[in-house]
Each structure stands twice: as structure tokens, then as C-alpha cells.
Chains A and B, each alone.
Chain A
Amino acid sequence: DTEVTQTPKHLVMGMTNKKSLKCEQHMGHRAMYWYKQKAKKPPELMFVYSYEKLSINESVPSRFSPECPNSSLLNLHLHALQPEDSALYLCASSQRGPDLGEKLFFGSGTQLSVL
């Protein structure tokens, strides 16, 4: 299994809603990442978990809250988002830590629309 699975594929939410994005991998990878990608732009790193501990937070607003319940799962909890947060949210994983420049395996993303 060489896949990173993200659910849901599409999500529409209001600014007062609370929702969660889910990411799962069963490759035994120990680093997991959240990226945000606006249309026609490159992905922007948000968070990195390394061995289930948050190792990088790229100054992301607190309305985004990551969680890593175990080495295979990564969640992104969303609350009180703004319309400008609408984007494709990509999860990725790598075999070891983020400091090794390894290949990233990406999921297909969750297309989020905030109304």
C-alpha cells in the first residue's frame, strides 16, 4: 500500500462551522505533513508531525488545529474559517523525519470551500 488517503474529497462549510479533515497512510512513514494549495499556486507548508510530535508550525492561524492520534493518522480540525481559507488541503508523508529531504507521498487532497 503506497497511498495516502484523504477524506473528504470535497467540503463546503460556513464560517461558524467546525469540521475536520482526515489523512491516513499505512506505509509505516513517521513524518506527516499538511499543505495548503491555492489555485494555480504551489503548495504551502502548514504543519509537520515527526514521530507523532508537532515539529513544524509555519505560523498558521489557530483556527487550524492539527492532531496526530497515531503514526498512521493525521487530522486537521477547522473552526471559524474565513472565505480566504478556501483551498486544496494536501496531506503528505515521508519515511522518516522532515530534515532528510526524502520523497514526499501526497494524497489527492480535500477541496475546501468556506462560505
Chain B
Amino acid sequence: GDSVTQMEGPVTLSEEAFLTINCTYTATGYPSLFWYVQYPGEGLQLLLKATKADDKGSNKGFEATYRKETTSFHLEKGSVQVSDSAVYFCALFTGGGNKLTFGTGTQLKVEL
């Protein structure tokens, strides 16, 4: 079945540091890939998405590239801020499943 594997957290960084959160997937067919973010006490928000190989999703300084050859969709940001502290979920969608499959989430803490 479809699955998403994310790096374990929490990830703790200093402000302005470079961020990478790894995400790899297993899926039949050609999934769409997503990063959702959940700030404390809130629901999830779509951060970015990519629907086919080599697509790059980007939003608010975050980027992720759909790499079919390595089945990966790693999230990156060049300079994190304290306000980026949240839990980040990688997810995939395939038409056969009719639902999003989420990874376990990675908590990011950014300190001054």
C-alpha cells in the first residue's frame, strides 16, 4: 500500500538556519505530493504541492522538488524564522486510494 516516511523530530534550529525535512514515499502509480503545516492549536494548512516528476512546489520561502528516481519530496527553506515553528506533514495522494496518506509529521522548533 501507499506510505510516507518522514524524518523523526523534533528538529531544533537557530533563526536564519537552513532547513531540510526529509520525506520519502512508496506508492503505486504516479502520486501527487504535498506538504501540510500545523501551527499549535490549529488545523492543517497546505504549504505546497507537486503533481508530477521534477515539479517544484514553493510557498513562503519553502520549496520541495518531486524526485521520482529517489521517490522523495524533501522540504527546504534557506532561512527559518521563529514563526516557522510548527509540525510539518508530508502527504501523498493517488487516485486509487481516494484519500491523502500522511507521514507521521516532523516538529520544527526555531529558537532565537
Tell whether A40 pairs with B105 under 8 Å between CB atoms, given A106-B45, A108-B42: yes
For the complex, count residues of B whose C-beta is within 8 A of A. 22
- Which residues of B have CB within 8 Å of A90? 43-44
Q: Give the Cβ gap from B82 to chain A, nearest Cβ, in Å.
A: 21
Tell whether A101 pairs with B93 under 8 Å between CB atoms, given A48-B99, A56-B99, A106-B45: yes
Chain B binding surface, main DSSP class: strand
Other-chain contact of B102, A42, A108, A109 (Cβ < 8 Å): A42
Most chain B beta-carbon contacts within 10 A, residue among A45, A56, A92, A101? A101
Which 10 residue pairs are nearest across A and B when measured between Cβ atoms?
A106-B43, A42-B102, A101-B93, A101-B32, A106-B44, A103-B46, A99-B98, A108-B43, A108-B42, A45-B99
For the complex, count residues of A whose C-beta is within 8 A of B. 19
A42–B49 contact, CB under 8 A? no
Q: Give the Cβ gap from B14 to chain A, nearest Cβ, in Å.
A: 24
In the complex, B78 has a CB within 8 A of chain A = no
CA distance A104 to B36 in the complex (A): 10
Q: Give the Cβ gap from A39 to chain B, nearest Cβ, in Å.
A: 11
Other-chain contact of A43, B44, B46, B98 (Cβ < 8 Å): B44
Chain A positions near chain B (C-beta within 8 angstroms): 4, 40-43, 45, 48, 56, 90, 92, 98-99, 101, 103-104, 106-109
A99–B95 contact, CB under 8 A? yes
